[in-house]
Structure formats: structure tokens, C-alpha cells
Amino acid sequence: MFQAATIKQIAHALSVSVSTVSRALSDSHEISEETKKLVREYAKKINYKSNPIARSLKNGRSNSIGILVSDIANSFFSQTINGIESIAYEKGYHVIITQSHDAYEREVSNIGHLASRSVDGILISMSSETTNYDHITQLHERGMPIVFFDRIIDEIETFKVTTDNFKSAFEATQLLIEKGNRNIAFLGNAPQLSISIERFNGYKAALEANNITFEDRLIKHCPEGGRNIEEIELALTEFRSGSVDALLIASDQISTSTMRVLAKTNYAENLTIIGFSNSDVIDLLSPGISYIRQNAFEIGQVAGEMLIKLIESKYPVYNFETRLLDAELHWRGF
């Protein structure tokens, strides 16, 4: 049976006390630099790793944080997770990643599971099905550090970080207008999601700024977030019958799914498209698409920093911020 190296082994081998080894490994000022170096070198030699369970009992923390996203296969979320991990591991935290697959019940179950695992805090990007936030509110009221990223909500006061979705959608719609398009359709995720609301508002504001009449018929939402191809096919069929000449797609997964549907038709030949997408292969898609790339890695880093700030604060935090990060608009010049 495997036996992990212990502080006692180090102490015995170096003929020093257990407390001396413990203090040396924690970089205590009470221990000389020479002894610290000796202890660290021997600890590395025998592959000593500190016991996370013992450490958590001592400081009241598990040194782990939970992450809830809709789908880690989504390029945006995989990139944000990389950003979170880069901060977490640097600060000595491990991460536990869960997926809601945009289902409310799974979100409730996963958040409950993370809390039962005694994570020190949770980073949440909301499911597209969720309209009741009681499961999160109750945890927050009991003192669980929570930070929202990307898909955020107003109902809970805490740190939040997302893309400047209004600005990104405004600029994309403005560019479509400048390229001569007037009948610009909007294809979004579930309508209650913050990203859907903010991106729709940016789209609508750009139309108004250019004296283009807003039309309800040009707005479609896909509550299943691109997982249901039939939702997208129906929306595109209605857009085609309505003489749409340009399309703003306000969701990563919907952008990819839409291009797959369009690849089977000739509709895209007369359609100028800009979509939110962090896919690494977006430039290879046919038909082509201009795209808005979010700074996903940085969003993850900022979210991780915010959560660890909450976890490690010695006093209650009352001053929160919602950080908006710029996205990059890539026009492919069709």
C-alpha cells in the first residue's frame, strides 16, 4: 500500500524536530535560511507533499474552489477555465469543475454537490434554463463566497466579471450597417440570460442610432443555446422569408451550429454574418463568418482573483464591482 512521505520522516532523517520541519516548510522567520534550504531540498528529494486534509483542518479551508459552467466543450468556457486555473494554482487552490448543460436541475444539483464538498468558494456562469435563484441565494446568505462570470445576475450582490456585451453588439451591428445592410436579424441565446439581454440592447441601440426601424420579426432566441438544431433551422427559415440581409449571432455555440446549418444551404451567399465565437477553428468555417472574440482567459483570471479575494478577506466585503472587459471584433472582409 502506498505511503506518502511525512514530516516525521524528514525530521528523523535530518535529526531535527517535527516542529522545526513544519516551520521551515511554512517559511517561518523563526527558522534560519540554512535550515529551511536543507529541509526543502530533502522534502523535494523524497517527493514530500503537504497533506491538504490536515492543512484544511488547521486553517478551516479546503483550498479548493468550485466552477460551474454550461459546457466545458464550449471553447469560451474551456478558455475561461484555463484562466481560472492559472490563478487558482498560483495561489495554492485546486479546482473542481462541473457542467450544467444549461439545465436548471443539474445546476441546482451541482452547486449543492460543490457546497457539500466544502469548497472555499464557487465561480458560477448561469444555466440558460435558470430563472429561480434560490439555490444560490441561500448559499450566499450562509456565507459561501460566490463570484459570477460571463452569465451574471443582478439578484445577488457580489463580484462579477463579463464581456462588455452591449458595446460589442453595438459595434458589430454598426459595422453591418456601414457595410450597407438594413434588414439585420438578431439570433440570441435564452432571452433571460444577461448576455442575451445586453447583446440585444446593443444591437437595438445601434439600429436606433442609425434611424433604422426596429422590427420584432427580426429577433429570434434559441433557449437551448444551439444544442437543438431544429431551433436554428426554424429561425433561419423565418429570416430567409423576411428578406434578411445580415445576421448578428449573440452566442458562441449558436454561431457554430448556425454555420453548420448554413453549410447545407445556399442562403449564406446573400447573408453577411457576425457572431460571437471563441472557437479556434472559426476562420476555417465555410461559409465564412466575421466574429467577436471575447477575452475568455482574462475573464477567468479576473474571476479567480475576485473569488480568492473574497475567500481570504479577514473582514466582510461590502464594496463589490462588476468588471466589463472589451472583446475583439474580427471582420473577414467578405
Which 3 state secondary structure label does DSSP give 168? helix
Cell of 213: 426601424
Q: Where are the domains of the chain?
A: 7-50, 62-162+296-325, 165-293
| Residue 57 pLDDT | 44
| Sheet arrangement for strand 246-249 | 219-221, 184-188, 246-249, 272-276, 290-293, 328-330
- Specify the residue for cell string 473582514: 315
Beta-carbon contacts of 225 under 8 Å, excluding residues fewer than 6 positions away, are 70, 102, 128, 189, 190, 251, 253, 254
- CATH ID of 62-162+296-325, from 3.10.150.10, 3.40.50.2300, 3.40.50.300, 3.30.420.140: 3.40.50.2300
What number is the average pLDDT over the span 81-85?
Answer: 97
215 confidence band (pLDDT: 50, 70, 90): very high
Cell of 99: 457542467
| Residue 263 pLDDT | 85
71 confidence band (pLDDT: 50, 70, 90): very high
| Residue 2 pLDDT | 44
Q: Can you spell out the DSSP letters for 71-90?
A: -TTSHHHHHHHHHHHHHHHH
Mean confidence (pLDDT) of the chain = 90
What number is the average pLDDT over the span 97-111?
Answer: 96
Polymer length in residues for the chain: 334
Q: Which among 118, 130, 140, 199 is positioned nearest to 166, based on CA atoms?
A: 199
User: How far does the chain reach from its first CA to its final CA, in angstroms?
Assistant: 64
Cell of 238: 423565418
Give the least confident one: 75-89, 154-168, 239-253, 294-308.
Answer: 239-253
| Residue 1 pLDDT | 43
| C-alpha to C-alpha distance for 77 and 125, rounded to whole angstroms | 9
Cell of 284: 476555417
Cell of 229: 438544431
| Sheet arrangement for strand 160-163 | 94-99, 64-69, 121-124, 146-149, 160-163, 322-325
| Residue 281 pLDDT | 80
Same fold, 62-162+296-325 and 165-293: yes
Q: Which helix (H) or strand (E) holds 25?
A: helix 18-25
Q: Which CATH class is domain 165-293?
A: alpha beta
What number is the average pLDDT over the span 174-203?
Answer: 96
Share of the chain above pLDDT 70, in %: 94
- Reported pTM: 0.82
| Predicted confidence (pLDDT) at residue 314 exceeds the cutoff of 70 | yes
Which tens digits make up the pLDDT trace of 190-213? Answer: 999 999 999 999 999 999 999 999
Which tens digits make up the pLDDT trace of 106-128? Answer: 999 999 999 988 899 999 999 99
Q: Can you spell out the DSSP letters for 208-252?
A: HHTTPPP-GGGEEE-TTTTS-HHHHHHHHHHHHHTT--EEEE--H
Q: Which among 227, 153, 216, 221 is positioned nearest to 187, based on CA atoms?
A: 221
